[in-house]
């Protein structure tokens, strides 16, 4: 659909970019691949680690595969910088595999949006760090991060 609008829309200032980042974080924390995919253009192009993904159908398949592997996933995103139609984000998320081993994954994303506020390009670089369960910092109930939970900077990440 070409008339979709996903506010806030570009050009972004720091406030609207921060809102866009929090909305993205909230959506990803639902772990609902169909819902998350609606924030992207139908022909969106991704590079996620070493995987190249194009279009919503591939985005949904990728996210479903991701969240079958990355259990109890909790994510925090933080605005790095915004300019016009582009936003740079840093993030961290915690998850465990089916063997119960915990990880904190760190990364950066570069986002580019169309005029309607849909993301047309996402480039993500991510590294995984094994952690002990006792080292976890993201302990809110699954779903949206509570407003009073510290962000990445406050957590020293």
Residue 26 CB contacts under 8 Å (≥ 6 apart), including other chains: 144, 145
Q: Where are the domains of the chain?
A: 14-135
Q: Tens digits of per-residue pLDDT, 16-29? A: 999 999 999 999 99
Asked if pLDDT for residue 2 goes beyond 80, the answer is no
Predicted confidence (pLDDT) per residue in 72-119, tens digit: 999 999 999 999 999 999 999 999 999 999 999 999 999 999 999 999
* Residue located via tokens 């984000």: 89
Phi, psi of 9 (to 5 degrees): -110, 155
- Per-residue model confidence (pLDDT) at position 86: 98
Across the range 53-77, mean pLDDT stands at 98
Of the candidates 50, 56, 92, which has an alpha carbon nearest to the alpha carbon of residue 74? Answer: 92
Mean pLDDT (the chain, rounded): 97
Q: What is the pLDDT of residues 38-54, one digit of tens each?
A: 999 999 999 999 999 99
For the whole model, what pTM was predicted?
0.96
Angstrom distances, CA of residue 114 to CA of 6, 33, 44, 56? 10, 21, 10, 15
d(CA 125, CA 90): 10
The span from the CA of 132 to the CA of 136, in Å, is 7
CB 127 within 8 A of CB 103: no
Is residue 1 pLDDT above 90, yes or no?
Answer: no
Look up the CATH number of domain 14-135.
3.10.450.50
Mean pLDDT confidence for 109-134: 98
Instruction: Give the per-residue pLDDT at 3.
Output: 58
Contact 121, 112 (CB under 8 A): yes
């Amino acid at each position: 659909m070409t008339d979709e609008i996903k506010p806030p829309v570009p050009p972004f200032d720091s406030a609207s970019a921060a809102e866009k980042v929090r909305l993205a974080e909230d959506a990803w924390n639902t772990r609902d691949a169909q819902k998350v995919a609606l924030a992207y253009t139908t022909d969106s192009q991704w590079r996620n680690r070493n995987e190249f993904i194009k279009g919503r159908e591939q985005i949904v398949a990728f996210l479903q595969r991701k969240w079958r592997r990355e259990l109890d996933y909790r994510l925090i995103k933080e605005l790095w910088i915004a300019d016009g139609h582009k936003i740079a984000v840093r993030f961290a998320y915690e998850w465990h595999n089916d063997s119960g081993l915990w990880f904190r994954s760190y990364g950066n994303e570069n986002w580019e949006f169309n005029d309607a506020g849909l993301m047309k390009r996402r480039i993500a670089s991510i590294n995984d760090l094994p952690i002990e369960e006792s080292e976890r910092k993201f302990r809110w109930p699954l779903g949206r991060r509570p407003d009073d939970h510290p962000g990445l900077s406050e957590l020293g990440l």
